[in-house]
């Protein structure tokens, strides 16, 4: 599933988290202030880690089917 959204002159492509390459920049919604990089898959909880790019101590764990946005200019 891919969908392109234009927000403030920037293109955001909606994809499932499982389709994002490791280390790629993602945001959870178009125009979000917090930018994440996709981290590793945790088999015990069946979730992917999203690492906050500006705060290395912060992580968010989301299901593989969660829609995130890529393809923006950072």
64: domain CATH number is 2.30.30
Return the DSSP state at 21.
P
More reliable by pLDDT, 2 or 67: 67
User: Which pair of tokens denotes residue 66?
Assistant: 């969660």
Question: What integer pLDDT is reported at residue 2 of this predicted model?
Answer: 56
Domain that holds residue 22: 3-70
Q: For 63, phi and psi rounded to 5 degrees?
A: -65, 160
Segment 45-59 shows an average pLDDT of: 94
3 band by pLDDT with thresholds 50, 70 and 90 = confident
pLDDT tens per residue across span 6-34: 777 788 999 999 999 999 999 999 989 99
* Stated pTM of the model: 0.86
The total number of structural domains that make up the chain:
1
Cβ 4 vs Cβ 11: under 8 Å: yes
The whole-number pLDDT of residue 58 equals: 94
């Amino acid at each position: 599933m891919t969908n392109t959204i234009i927000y403030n002159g920037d293109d955001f492509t909606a994809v499932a988290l499982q389709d994002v390459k490791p280390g790629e920049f993602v945001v959870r919604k178009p125009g979000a202030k917090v930018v994440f990089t996709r981290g590793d898959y945790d088999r015990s909880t069946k979730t992917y880690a999203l690492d906050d790019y500006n705060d290395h101590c912060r992580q968010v764990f989301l299901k593989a089917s969660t829609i995130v946005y890529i393809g923006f200019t950072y």
